[in-house]
């Protein structure tokens, strides 16, 4: 087999959900957008539902429709992007709940689906999605009597606990929801870690479920092993890979493994990234190409059949640091070419 294997540890996933749930006294939902952060929303959501999650969040109605097929009736499926034009039939037929972001969405929803559940998303300062204070003030008298299921906002800097934006947004959210009896939600993973003032009635962790920062105690969920296609001896002064960017300083044994930037292993991470044989690191040599990576295995004393790139020794955030990005991008970039394997 010449494709890498992505192993998803569903026990680690549910352990992470339970650990985050234990930090609060409110309901803990689960964010499974972007195909469960690249790990398969159907399998991920079913495992979380079996662990006790009853509310799920996705980005778009199309994702919500696929998730309803995976979960069946019962769990609440909330849509961050709200009620977009063309979504009405899916929202109605599949019992989905849009988080309405604007007056236009509010009017579309109440006119096309009177009595159908909806939530409200407020902009508490991030300037991304949600109703701003003036818009919400004009709409609140219309929205509240229709009993929204949830009123929510999103923190911009929750992964930086000392950032002043956190307290600023909390104050705005409190002011915008003053005297509302509707359940409230402000926090994803980072907000959970900020403490109880940010928890309200529901939290909605995302990346922390999948082993990513800022949840430092998360168990790793995703593991990637890559088969070795070929191993060759390279003499001093010989080059490896495009552009001759690596020149062998001595007699070396170089493995070519079957993955590259087409598999989400971003070219920029090569100089700072390693692969592993067990717990032994093996440096990348040369440029990461579309389908292949060169790896120095001289020191192993044996020819490996495969090497690991995503392990307990090198997490999604380690790979993200090497690429100058964030763990979210690494997870959601893991391509469909991987052979996926689920363990419990």
Active site residues: 33, 242
Closest to 125 measured CA to CA, from 180, 60, 174, 194: 174
Closest to 6 measured CA to CA, from 41, 35, 40: 40
Give burial (CB, 10 Å; 0-12/13-18/19+) of 344: exposed
Please answer whether residues 10 and 44 qualify as being in contact, where contact means their C-beta atoms are separated by less than 8 angstroms: yes
Rounded Cα distance, 49 and 196, in Å: 24
Q: What is the DSSP letter of 23?
A: T
Q: Quick one: how many helices (H) and strands (E) in the chain?
A: 11, 19
Rounded Cα distance, 241 and 256, in Å: 10
Helices (H), 177-279: 189-194
Please answer whether residues 82 and 60 qualify as being in contact, where contact means their C-beta atoms are separated by less than 8 angstroms: no
3-state secondary structure of 287: coil
Handedness of CA 175, 178, 180, 186 (dihedral sign): positive
Both tokens of 314, joined, read: 């090198």
């Amino acid at each position: 087999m010449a494709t890498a294997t992505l192993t998803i540890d569903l026990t680690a996933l549910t352990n992470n959900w339970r650990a985050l749930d234990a930090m609060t006294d409110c309901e803990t939902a689960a964010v499974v957008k972007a195909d469960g952060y690249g790990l398969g929303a159907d399998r991920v959501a079913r495992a979380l539902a079996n662990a006790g999650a009853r509310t799920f969040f996705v980005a778009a109605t199309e994702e919500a429709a696929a998730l309803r097929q995976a979960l069946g009736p019962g769990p609440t499926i909330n849509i961050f992007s709200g009620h977009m034009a063309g979504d009405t039939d899916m929202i109605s037929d599949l019992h989905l709940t849009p988080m309405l972001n604007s007056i236009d969405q509010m009017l579309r929803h109440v006119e096309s689906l009177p009595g159908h559940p909806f939530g409200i998303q407020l902009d508490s300062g991030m300037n991304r999605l949600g109703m701003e204070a003036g818009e919400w003030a004009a709409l609140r008298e219309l929205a509240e009597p229709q009993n929204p299921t949830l009123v929510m906002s999103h923190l911009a800097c929750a992964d930086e606990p000392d950032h002043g934006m956190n307290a600023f947004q909390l104050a705005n959210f409190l002011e915008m929801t003053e005297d509302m009896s509707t359940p409230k939600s402000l926090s994803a993973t980072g907000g959970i870690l900020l403490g109880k003032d940010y928890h309200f009635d529901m939290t909605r962790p995302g990346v922390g479920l999948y082993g990513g920062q800022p949840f430092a105690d998360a168990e790793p969920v995703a593991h990637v092993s890559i088969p070795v296609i070929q191993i060759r001896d390279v003499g001093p002064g010989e080059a490896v890979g495009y552009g001759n960017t690596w020149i062998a300083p001595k007699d070396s044994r170089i493995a070519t493994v079957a993955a590259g930037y087409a598999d989400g292993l971003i070219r920029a991470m090569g100089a700072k990234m390693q692969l592993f044989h067990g717990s032994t690191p093996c440096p990348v040599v040369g440029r990461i190409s579309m389908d292949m990576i060169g790896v120095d295995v001289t020191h192993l004393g044996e020819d490996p059949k495969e090497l690991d790139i995503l392990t307990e020794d090198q997490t999604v955030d380690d790979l993200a640091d090497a690429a100058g990005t964030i763990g979210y991008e690494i997870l959601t970039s893991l391509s469909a070419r991987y052979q996926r394997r689920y363990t419990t």
